[in-house]
Amino acid sequence: MPNEPLVLGIETSCDETGVGVVRGHTLLADALASSVEEHARFGGVVPEVASRAHLAAIVPTIRRALAQAGVTLADLDAIAVTAGPGLAGALLVGVAAAKGYAVAADKPIYGVNHLAAHVAVDTLEHGPLPEPALALLVSGGHSSLLLVDDLAGGVSALGSTIDDAAGEAFDKVARLLGLPFPGGPPIDRAARDGDPAAIAFPRGLTGSRDRAAHPYDFSFSGVKTAVARWVEARRRAGEPVPVPDVAASFQEAVADVLTAKAVAACRAHGVSTLVIGGGVAANSRLRWLAQRRCEAAGVTLRTPRPALCTDNGAMVAALGSYLVAAGAPPSRLDLPADSALPVTTVTV
């Protein structure tokens, strides 16, 4: 509708320059420039390489998004930008660009939380988010369970990873198996030909003592180490490594813990809607297992399409539009880029 907030969103928290344009809950443009190939030979994201790639891509990507949406800077109601968490140098590129465009066009600016934006992007496909809702955010740097009472006012952290994030574990296991970076998609593909019950890899923080101390926290360092030891033992014995079975069994261990704890949190807090976001939310086994367990628990599952799970400008624009519609005050022009922005802080 024409009276819904029209917002430009800028995302540069890691290795992808994303710019989206959203009107209310309608996605008008989602432009992306990725530097993932530049990082692949290092087996992970190199912060300086990412920052330089953002500098080169930011202006052309913003122009492309505006052209796709058929709007100009003057048409916008606000500009939203990821202010954290993320790589400090990468964040600075996006925040500086957003400030420049906001001043040039005389538009309010909203510095937003990257993780909250992963929740907001779901509204572009499924409409307004029921509140309260529970959000499971799983990516290369974060694995968190959030209670969302009011997305504009703040969220409550129920749990998070105490070591490796889920996406980080996928990358490390992929490297062990000789699969390319980033590790999520190739492990997902390899697992289709494997048996998820072939190898009993451990489920972190699921023992009775751990459940009492860390009911909604995650740990993926142990399963990553277990995979490394299993693969090393096979190679030492001169036996072939069954990559599909290892991939499927590892993937099952991660998806099992994530979905079990998310559904348990829904039940404990009387929440009937679960949103899954972040890059790992594109994993087919995670989506299937979450759907099955949510149906059994009477919980409605909402997952954006895979293209909207990874970092993108659309999610930032969606959160910005939500904030404008809710009457949230904009950020100051001297807003910082905060690489360690707490998940409970939605706007800066």
Could you report the per-residue pLDDT of 201-235, keeping only the tens digit for each?
A: 999 999 999 989 999 999 999 999 999 999 999 99
pTM for this one?
0.94
What's the domain count of the chain?
2
Q: Which amino acid is at 323?
A: L
Q: Evaluate whether residue 333 is within a structural domain.
A: no
CATH of the domain at 33: 3.30.420.40
What gap in Å lies between CA 235 and CA 232, rounded to an integer?
A: 5
Do 111 and 47 fall within a single domain?
yes
Q: Domain range holding 183?
A: 131-304
Could you report the per-residue pLDDT of 307-337, keeping only the tens digit for each?
A: 999 999 999 999 999 999 999 999 999 999 9
- Quickly tell me which residue has 């790639």 as its tokens: 53
Do 149 and 209 fall within a single domain?
yes
Do 240 and 219 fall within a single domain?
yes
Do 67 and 157 fall within a single domain?
no
Do 37 and 175 fall within a single domain?
no
Do 112 and 135 fall within a single domain?
no
For helices 243-269 and 166-176, angle between their N-to-C axes, nearest 10 degrees: 170
- Quickly tell me which residue has 């909207």 as its tokens: 308
Q: Which amino acid is at 221?
A: S
Do 62 and 139 fall within a single domain?
no
Could you report the per-residue pLDDT of 262-296, keeping only the tens digit for each?
A: 999 999 999 999 999 999 999 999 999 999 999 99
Q: Evaluate whether residue 96 is within a structural domain.
A: yes
Confidence of residue 152 (pLDDT cuts 50, 70, 90): confident
Query: What length is written for the chain?
Result: 348
Cβ neighbours, 10 Å, residue 224: 24
Could you report the per-residue pLDDT of 122-132, keeping only the tens digit for each?
A: 999 999 999 89
For position 154, what pLDDT does the model report?
Answer: 75
Do 106 and 142 fall within a single domain?
no
On the 0-12 / 13-18 / 19+ scale of CB atoms within 10 A, 131 is: middle
pLDDT above 70: percentage of residues in the chain: 99
As a whole number, mean pLDDT of residues 65-90 equals 97
Do 282 and 320 fall within a single domain?
no
Confidence of residue 2 (pLDDT cuts 50, 70, 90): low
Do 318 and 174 fall within a single domain?
no
